[in-house]
Amino acid sequence: MNHNSSSSAFNARRLRLWLAILAPGDLSVNEAATAHPGSAMMTGVGSPNDVLWSQMEQAGWTRRIAIDDLPTARVTSSYAFTDAGARAVTKELTAIVTVKIQMMGMVKGFDPRTAPELVQQLCGAFSWLALRTASQLALAKEARPASGEAQARQHACILALDEINKGVAMAGLYIADAIAHGPDSDAGRDCLERTTAGLRYAEQCLTQWATEMRAEQSGSSSLPT
């Protein structure tokens, strides 16, 4: 899938989508860097942040920093946020937190003030994976692959993400059922176990397909099997 087409100009909306599909560790790098625009950020070539920062450069939100050591430059990319980029990332990270809170509120019966710790953790994981799935799906649908082979990979990716999306939604229903039955009841514990397993599997699948999307971004493919 070619995310560099003219129909996919990088803007605030796409910044939010790409931030939303990052793993927590990669996301925290961006969050920390917003406090120090102009400071160097280093990452591996082809990594999630490398793909994100290279796109942000199109909008003037990052600038690439040359690495003098040639062996290091082959495997490492270095960028810095511009002032405008730091502001844009801060704004979109705040929006992401707001959306996650809204998604947690959609779980029937969930009250963050009274819910047991496990239920709170699972609701947090549910909201994150629901947003991450929706964001990956939006990016996949907006891609404009040129070749038939790439179009077939795009179609496979969209179908897979649709199924993952259904699985994550089902996990939200299991959490609601656990709350209704009582998290400490046999039925409640069974629902929470199903939720934990389902969300863990969804995260694994999303990571696979995120890798595929980055491979397409860089012009290669590693389609999960």
Strands (E), 51-191: 62-64, 76-81
Residue 6 clears pLDDT 90, i.e. is over it: no
Percent of residues, the chain, with pLDDT higher than 70: 92
Domain boundary among the residues 86, 119, 154 is at 86
Q: pLDDT tens-digit profile of 198-213?
A: 999 999 999 888 887 7
**Burial of 211 from C-beta contacts in 10 A (0-12 / 13-18 / 19+):** middle
Chain length of the chain: 225
Q: How far are the Cα atoms of 189, 190, 201 from residue 10, in angstroms, in the given order?
A: 44, 44, 31
- Same-domain pairing of 136 and 170: yes
Indicate the residue among 58, 86, 114 that finishes a domain.
Answer: 86
How many domains are there within the chain? 2
Residues 6 or more apart whose Cβ sits within 8 Å of residue 209: 136, 140, 157, 160, 161, 164, 224
The mean pLDDT value of the chain amounts to 90
Q: What is the pLDDT of residue 216?
A: 67
Domain extent at residue 68:
6-86
Residue 184, pLDDT above cutoff 60: yes
Mean pLDDT of 90-94: 98
Q: Would you state the pLDDT for residue 70?
A: 77
Query: In this structure, are 136 and 202 located in the same domain?
Result: yes
- Answer whether residue 177 is part of any domain: yes
Could you tell me the CATH number of the domain that includes residue 106? 1.20.120
Residue 224 forms part of a structural domain:
no
pLDDT at 143: 85
